[in-house]
Amino acid sequence: MKRLFAIVLLLAGAGVTGDIWSCTTFIISGRNTPDGKPILYKHRDTGTLDNAIAFFSDGKYQYIGIVDSKDTWKTEVWGGYNSAGFAIMNTAAYNNNTGDTTKLTDQEGVVMKLALQNCATLADFEKMLNDLPKPLGVDANFGVIDASGGAAYYETGNSGFKKIDANDPALAPNGYLVRTNFSFTGTVNGGGGYIRYATASETLNMAAAQNKLEPHYLLNCISRNLYHSLTKVNLRAGLPADNKSTDFRSFEDFIPRFSTASVIMVVGTAKGDDPSATMAWVVTGFPLTAVAVPVWISAGKDLPWVVSMKEDMHAPLCDAAMWLKGQLFPITRGSGYKYINVAALINAENTGILQRLEPVENEIFRKTTELMASIPAGKAKNEKIREYYKWLDSYIIQSYKEIFGIEMK
């Protein structure tokens, strides 16, 4: 375990300043998903690689969110949803405040916490943005869904916002919108993330064409996407023979990147369902070395042990994922973090880290589907969920120990 934390600290201290704040997100209207439920998705990149999930009851509504594993966890939330079925996330935009010399910045996490505390609908969020003192201290694309079928991005700067509605066929003909690190209504050619935007857009277009806009497929085709839309490089092609050798490849401008810290995918409710049926899939840690875990707010402060914050502010699954990540990025000096050892990740022998985790996550999705089928629509039964969490924690802890020799503590 000491070695695990040594590598975690080493990775956290690596020079990744060029990659931080490079999130990739999308929202899908319920009118375009197979089950009629809207989806909000955030693949998070940040300079704080240790992330956890926390439950809060300090506002009008209870809520669950991604937090940094540091002292600011009580004041900033980086994506989540509340008991009213309202969910929010963000990406940094970099082109909404061109020429603005305002010194107040980086308030996105504070704004999202306020929204989760107080908002039930898109209209509530719009009113909050209008009522907050200006400048807002943000340059962001806020993605929002609610239990009434609302789904929209708010391209927001210090003085105001522009709404892009995923339910408007003129703006989102396929019922979904993608945002990386630029706003469409901001300064033209400003911001960043254009290559990742193209990759995510191409991927979602293909998923929609195959009627696969559903959680498990989306998680794998976005956060485990190893295709580069500009260079056409596909790291899943021409695999190394096994995991015993090294095969370093450039790992820049893919959707997953060294600075990826977590994923949250909120699955909202279909029209007529109780908001308590809203749930989320979360990945704490690097998504190429961590499995997705389901969480429901209806179970209250009880959350899966593996993804929730402990006294040291760490989540056990995040620590385990960071240790495995060290095997993918063994070069820690200079620009080593820009190069991934593909042989350790995926190979022709199916002994890569990601390949060994796939059956584990498949079983989690299978069992979760069974659980949700056993719960009447819109009626999340707390005791069933808490019992499921016990199995889930035990299964993940045992799997990481048996496969990789990692003991979560």
Q: Is the pLDDT confidence value at 2 over 60?
A: no
| C-beta of residue 100 within 8 angstroms of C-beta of residue 157 | yes
Domains of the chain: 2-404 (3.60.60.10)
Q: Is the pLDDT confidence value at 220 over 60?
A: yes
Return d(Cα 60, Cα 408) in angstroms, integer: 35
Q: Is the pLDDT confidence value at 169 over 80?
A: yes
Return d(Cα 390, Cα 398) in angstroms, integer: 12
> In the structure encoding, which two tokens stand for residue 70, read together?
């540091």
Q: What is the pLDDT of residue 271?
A: 84
Residues of the chain above pLDDT 90, percent = 89
Q: What is the CA radius of gyration of the chain?
A: 20
| Residue 326 CA from chain centroid, whole number | 21
Who has greater pLDDT, 59 or 14? 59
Return d(Cα 37, Cα 174) in angstroms, integer: 15
pLDDT digits (tens, 9 = 90+) for 343-393: 999 999 999 999 999 999 999 999 999 999 887 754 557 889 999 999 999
Q: What is the pLDDT of residue 377?
A: 56
Which stretch of 58-72, 170-184, 267-281, 313-327 has the lowest confidence by average pLDDT?
267-281
pTM attached to this predicted model: 0.94
Q: Is the pLDDT confidence value at 9 over 70?
A: no
Mean pLDDT of 403-409: 96
pLDDT digits (tens, 9 = 90+) for 277-299: 899 999 999 999 999 999 999 89
Average pLDDT, the chain: 93
Q: What is the pLDDT of residue 123?
A: 98
| C-beta of residue 282 within 8 angstroms of C-beta of residue 303 | no
Q: Is the pLDDT confidence value at 113 over 90?
A: yes
| Residue 213 CA from chain centroid, whole number | 16
- State which amino acid sits at residue 143: G
Confidence band of 161 (pLDDT split at 50, 70, 90): very high
Helix (H, G, I), strand (E, B) or coil at 142: strand
Q: Is the pLDDT confidence value at 109 over 80?
A: yes
Q: What is the pLDDT of residue 272?
A: 84
Mean pLDDT of 3-24: 51
Which stretch of DSSP H or E encloses residue 64? strand 63-68
